[in-house]
Amino acid sequence: MSAAAPSPSPEPAQRLLVLGSTSRYRRELLQRLHLRFEVASPDVDETPNAGEHPRELALRLALAKAQVVAARFPAAVVIGSDQVADLDGLALGKPGTHDRAVEQLRHMRGRSVVFQTAVAVVCQDTGFQQVELAPVRVRFRDLSDAEIEAYLEREQPYDCAGSAKSEGLGISLLDAIDSDDPTALVGLPLIRTCRMLRAAGVKLL
């Protein structure tokens, strides 16, 4: 009588995945990976430090957001992200109002802007922590005041760094986009996110 084949070992349970952001744009991007995840709001002061470059600001805030949420969910794998529009070293954040959006777009017209998009992945229980930057260089058209007003009236992108949503009508404001991580401009660089999630032990496929 032959011995019964050993039962396959059960796969280890997947850790809870938490997106440390209330941005609907990041939530929609992460949904593309078909992973179950929860959303938590990171309570982080986003004020730049004195003399802090936009690149360093984005990296610091992405990691801080992930760390703050990971402290509340120590067994989870937590994603934090931040984006800062960088105009020759000047940080442009979310405009919040129509007037500030007009001012931002007037400053950027005819110029190149680097959208410094950072993503961090943290798991407190395992000590895993990584953060990466996905810079996106964008060249704006030489926009007229009338084009700026028409765009803002239609799309009202007041919750977007740099006052433009490339996934919508904002694409009409641009001459070129240069990036090695296509979703970075929308707010979450998925190529880098996937790489770090795999390193943290999250099974994607």
Which residues are known catalytic residues?
A: 82
50: Cα separation from own chain's centroid: 23
Residues 6+ positions from 114 with CB-CB distance below 8 Å: 54, 85, 86, 135, 136, 137, 138
Under 8 Å between Cβ of 115 and 166: no
Under 8 Å between Cβ of 157 and 138: no
> Residue 150 corresponds to which amino acid?
A
Query: Which of 109, 122, 129, 117 shows the shortest CA–CA distance to 170?
Result: 109
Please state, in angstroms and rounded to a whole number, the distance separating the CA atoms of residues 83 and 93. 8
Please state, in angstroms and rounded to a whole number, the distance separating the CA atoms of residues 65 and 127. 16
Structure tokens at 146: 């009338």
> Which helix (H) or strand (E) segment is 87 a member of?
strand 77-87
Rg (CA), the chain: 20
